[in-house]
Structure 1
Amino acid sequence: MARFRMYPTSAQASVMLDHCAHARYVWNLAVEQHAHWYKGRKSAPGFAEQCRQLTEARRENAWLAAGNADVQQQALKDFARAKNARFASGSGEPTWRRKYVHEGFRVIGTDRIAEFEADGSPRLNARTGKQVMGR
């Protein structure tokens, strides 16, 4: 895994801390869902169902919608990986992430680039009004 040292400005650091908060929030919701399960109860939702729930939560919660969906989905993917590897890794069940202790997020697949019109203006999605990101 490649790791790079970063020297962010205070504004960039603030945005990254927001990403950390969103990733931690989503991770802790996944832990809560899986902790709620016990024998005889319907199983906890998997990665795909959690992604659908995340989409609904982003519609209802402006704070969560302000964050990057890729960061939040990656937190769910990391949780699913940790949950599947809990016996083989020796780390046990995934646990809660705490503020100022478990700060971090991963960004995978950053091959998306902004699309622009022929005149140089950003291409906007007609339905949402946000800029279109291409592959």
Structure 2
Amino acid sequence: MRPAIELKVYEINKIIYKKIEDFESEKDNKDIKTVVKSGVAEKDESKGRISIAMGIIDKEGERSIEAKVTGYFTINKDVIEEQGLDLKDTLSINGAAILFPYIRSVISMVTSLDSDNAILLPTVNVMEFLDKE
């Protein structure tokens, strides 16, 4: 059986890594901030896109990282219709779950280049991200 969506390619859109000596100057006190955006192509509903952007402040390591990853998906509309699924919800939920390990890996790899202590993101419930939109 074919999946409802398939990841075709992903790209890293942004990486900003910096050392921070004075966290008081940082505007946002949150340790992790995540934004997930999704969309279906207007002219071709068999194509979709998901972007995940994360900002992490590691106060103990005196550093921060911002990263954004975008994944491009093929949507199998016949499978979605056959299973009675909502196209946009399926893309948002499943696409974010498929793409999250990629941004997790990028953040871990970049932060490990500068320190023995890589920033390791825990596994997550993707639904929490989608509720924040």
- Give the structure-1-normalised TM-score: 0.28
- Give the structure-2-normalised TM-score: 0.28
Instruction: Using CA pairs under 8 Å that are at least 6 residues apart, name the structure with larger relative contact order, 1 or 2.
Output: 2
- Bigger strand fraction: 2
- Bigger helix fraction: 1
